[in-house]
Structure 1
């Protein structure tokens, strides 16, 4: 994230955009020309109601802007998420889809109704729980808001929010193409075009497309293929901006993404990259979304904003559950039984298992906001106000099929529908002496219905509320501090297809999270250094825990359910910083410290033994996350970026004590930039660190009598490539 004060001319030279609207000679070195000084320190947080600037927002927020995305060569959100303090993800899918902020979030969703703890929004289109379609090409910035966003976003943002904002249409013509090639058969072809449709400048457009493919770093030695874990990802965005009148602006966004990925990521011997499956899985998502934003400023005392969105998603996740093939298992010896299930000797193993879930999700939402303009301020012109209403309808049909040794094991067709209605409001009052008080409140009603082919039927409804109180103080021009209390909520729900012994776990209740936060946002050394620091304490009530139980009599079958643990507490620290030692050099980084623990939580393992996790750390909650990056741009146009990030060890699951190892990843990018073209040589994970992103602990090998064992899915190994970028009018 670049955040330079206008009084820092050295930093201004670092921050400007690579391309310009004019065409220069191809040999001319790049000059990153900054906009006028008064606009420099306007890093707007689009996810906030009032589009407040980052340095004034009373909350812990990380913003990664277009320049950092370009400097690091980020192709997907996966390439930047390690730069975010106290942020983690669960690697049970081909691309990151399930996220944890400050230790709160999901690790997967194999069945059940969608119920996210971390919101995921792309250009005001809600894709919570469907985060894998997140290309970074032509992206304006990535915003991560930590802590409950109860006022703005309600039930889907208990832990926080991820907001992706792509570039808007321009009033002058801009075009560009980009090509990347690399090992693992990587090929990425991208392009954009933007400008006015009519000479009056009242109708503007922007279109960007990207096609990305690679083999996926796995060699299937049984099938003799190196593409069973492949990525085949297409993303297209189109935006129209219409200045209908002097008072009415309409922004239409169209999004289409088709990620047709393989999923062959697990090995029995934990080598991580040589697989044996005979039926490789898939991890597909096809999403089409539409967003319409209307902004009306013609009223005397208020402005009106309307947000309408629609998203249709077809998704499929399938895998070969035995992680091998018939020839492999036939070469192993398993117990042989007589008709009374007495062991009578050994025989070749027979084990074949597949799991396949297809889903069809549709989301429609409408929001209206009235917000005060300058004339509409109340309480002697000291207070801005905002009120709004929100409605959302989500439907999802799922078709689950699994097969064990040619026999259907789990067959389930389900239908789910949820409708949310909310009313919300916020006031921001200037109290004098540079104090600002912000108070927000949201009431939300949720009605839902679920039915499936196993005759489970649920129709829970509930009322929920959240909000915040924040007091900020501008100490001087360079330092702003705040204290904030926020209340978030996550709707309760139900568990389907439970055995009789778990009948008391059919339903679970709403989780409530109180977040207490103290922060300081500062500029030092005449704008050469910027820092954001936040201390937080989180109090979780009726914490929702995702549990699983392997059936000892049918080891291929897992019972998945969510239940409530007792209250728990998380606390920690986040620091983001930028330093500009010279006009050619920028250093940036982040540090997160996190302490988590369960409240009172006991569960029974598959043998009926009671396991007490009270006081244990939460899954996917490393104590430390950190990143450091450095960008150098010579006056001649030579460019270099190196960045490193890492995590301390963390538990993989809420159902066992399997843990990751600490790791550190180093990436680099060097090249040459001109005003019209740029060329780069890059490397990711340069030192080929072998690091786990998801782990399971269970029995999956019949020749070992289904003994529990840790299995790990590893992140991408070293990758080298080249990128060529060209921009023109």
Structure 2
């Protein structure tokens, strides 16, 4: 770790011999599309070239490149994210209530972000800290935004094929151009299918595909340009992830399972967005964004993590009515859990913004006002079976409607650039299930930001930012008497204080972005669980409020164009996230004091160090290291992961319209945990609590061929 920090420092200090400045990156998720160098906030933007250089197929492959972004591996692809230690780890029951926004081409997929192929992607953006003005309640911790490539006037098309270990085959193709002779209507279509076995061998079933990935993504875009003052962008998204889920083992041996009923983790999403930009006059611009998404998801798993033959070969204790051991008999243990969900989301945003002639206060200030409405409906069907008998069945319906008013002022005052934003949001939700429980909470929340930035010298810009984020409160279902009083939990508020410096050194050869932050969380919502002592296959899952917590640290990224052929880059995220006060309820009615303990899935450091070399004769190579510190797996126990470093490489040859690459991921075959549970799951041991770990992907080699029809 020290060597890596030293290397990053050297990159910023060494003399350079750059022959060309690096590309300017624009943050499209921002209201006005500011450049990354001028945005008064901490953000990471990876463009298509950067993503292609490291050679990933899915957003999961790019996660380690982003400082202070972590994920919880309780699904076949990442769905639950943590930014600066803030975010969900799972959602087995309850109402969807994301802390991290996840948007693909203006289609909101927060909480179901598995549909995140990198193929034909224009750029990936991560905005850290609350985005209260722009995105409201679903962006308490920040926002992840994926933007695919736009249509082009000139015809272009291409295909890409990857083969690799784990029986991987990935095939993609795209086409783009004008649909008419005058160039008013443009189109782009991209299709990709990704298949692989999933790195697991099920010894009981003698199969290596019980954890398979079969993922198809289709994106289609139409751009209509009838006049110079009007533009309409229509986007369609189809994603079908038909994945298996067989990752847990009783002995934590990593990649050999023994389940007799492997699970599934599937998501089928059909979505669309329509974005209209109209320059009404020289003084006023109108933007309207309509989006819709229909998703069908299923998450199921073999809860005993083995098979009936294995359990029958073990002796289990026999208890009397007072739970005293009175003998033993062959174990009988079989448990299967299955949850299917149907989610429909629709949203409408309309905003007016000042044009060149519409600025106020003597032409010093741009203004923006808007209204937002969204409606989410979700139907859940949960069922589980224990030892051949029905165990738990629950059918529930949830809907939530959010209405928001927002505004922003951006002013130039001498050398200062000032920004102030405010959003007021009303949320009304309704829940009912066939167990007789129902809730209909309503609340009004507000958030916003104040920021100031100025140029300190040529190529250097400093900023200070205060942002207030919010997250709606909610309710818990089916709680035992020991959790009496935990039926409802309050809304959470987060204050983010941030100082930043964005610099361009040596005529733009070196770009660096540094942010220092402090986050004050009030009424922090904490996910917790209790194992049912009478029915140990069951858990009581609930959310409650901690008194307060604080998160602070820094983010740094450096890009050095050392020569025209060589680029060296590095990122660093440092984080300290801990409870100020929090008492965790236990099954016996007592409390565990977690005050001062670090939050779950909040590693103290994350770093990347890499380089890309493109020779004039077409040869290409990329090498990168990604490190993550140890972190707590959960707030309900003290089990921790181990720190790890992943080494990835890509070598190839690039001609004018084709390229061939050899790549390898996790070259040192690091075994690293991405999710951990600590509970009793073995009846032969009297349901003694134990740590069970799910591991990330092992080493893999492959080949990629790309051909572009220019």
**Same fold by TM-score greater than 0.5:** yes
1:687-718 CA-partner distances (Å, limit 9, x unpaired): 10000000010000011110000000000000
Partner of 2:635: 654
Between Structure 1 and Structure 2, how many residues are aligned? 695
- What do the CA deviations read for 1:53-94 (whole angstroms, capped 9, x no partner)? 100000000001100111111110000101111110000000
Are the aligned partners of 2:662 and 2:702 in contact in 1 as well (CA < 8 Å)?
yes
Q: How does 1:102-113 map to 2 (within 5 A)?
A: 102-113=84-95
Q: Which moved more, 1:104-113 or 1:607-616?
A: 607-616
Listed one character per residue, the Cα deviations across residues 225-252 of structure 1 (whole Å, up to 9, x for unaligned) are 0000000000000000000222211000
User: Partner residue of 1:280?
Assistant: 262
1:511 equivalent to 2:511? Answer: no
Aligned equivalents of 2:523, 2:675: Cα separation in 1: 26
- 2:693 & 2:79 partners in 1: Cα distance? 18
Q: 1:329-478 alignment to 2 at 5 Å?
A: 329-337=311-319, 342-432=324-414, 434-478=415-459
Q: Is the 8 A contact 2:493 2:523 kept in 1?
A: yes
Quick one: structure 1 residues 340 and 52, their matched pair in 2 at CA, closer, same or farther if it must change by over 3 Å?
A: closer
Find 2:239's aligned residue among 236, 251, 257.
257
Equivalent residue number for residue 541 of structure 1: 522
Q: In structure 2, what is the equivalent of residue 20 of structure 1?
A: none
What does residue 75 of structure 2 align with? 93
Find the aligned partners of 2:19 and 2:407 in 1 and give their Cα distance: 38
8 Å CA contact 2:17, 2:562 repeated in 1? no
**Unaligned runs of at least 5 residues, structure 2:** 1-15
Alpha-carbon shift at residue 551 of structure 1 (Å): 1.1
Q: 1:248 aligns with which of 208, 227, 230?
A: 230
Superposed CA RMSD: 1.2
TM value normalised by structure 1: 0.94
CA distance in 1, matches of 2:71, 2:158: 32
User: CA separation of 1:246/1:407 partners in 2, compared to 1, >3 Å: closer, same or farther?
Assistant: same
Distance in 1 of aligned mates of 2:487 and 2:589: 19
SS at match of 2:561: strand
Q: 1:339 to 1:571 in 2, by over 3 A?
A: closer
Query: 1:130 maps to what in 2?
Result: 112
Greater mean deviation of Cα atoms: 561-570 or 604-613: 604-613
**Rounded Cα–Cα distance in structure 2 between residues aligned with 1:285 and 1:593:** 34
Q: Deviations over 1:330-381 (max 9, x none)?
A: 0111012457765331111000000000000000000001000010000000
Q: 2:594 aligns with which of 595, 604, 613?
A: 613
Residues 552, 607 of structure 1: 8 Å contact kept = no
Question: SS where residue 375 of structure 2 aligns?
Answer: strand
Structure 2 residue corresponding to 1:693, chosen from 674, 678, 690: 674
Residue deviations 1:495-537, cap 9 Å, x none? 0111233231110000000000000000112211110000000
1:669 to 626, 637, 650: 650
Quote the Cα distance in structure 2 between the aligned partners of 1:11 and 1:268: 56
Pair 1:716 & 2:697 matched: yes
Look up the SS of the partner of 1:438 in the other structure. strand
Give 1:12 shift. 3.9
**Distance in 2 of aligned mates of 1:606 and 1:462:** 31
Deviation at 1:487, TM superposition (A): 0.1
Out of 65, 68, 76, the residue aligned to residue 58 of structure 2 is 76
CA distance in 1, matches of 2:178, 2:226: 14
TM-fit CA distance, 1:9? 9.8
1:556 aligns with 2:537: yes
5+ long unaligned stretches in structure 1: 1-7, 16-39
How big is the shift at 1:474?
A: 1.3
| Structure-1 separation of matches of 2:302 and 2:529 | 19
CA contact (8 A) 2:520 2:548 kept: yes
Distance (whole Å) between structure 2 residues aligned to residue 252 and residue 10 of structure 1: 40
Task: Answer whether contact 2:335 2:537 (CA < 8 A) is retained.
Answer: yes
CA contact (8 A) 1:353 1:404 kept: yes
1:590 lines up with 2:571 in the alignment: yes
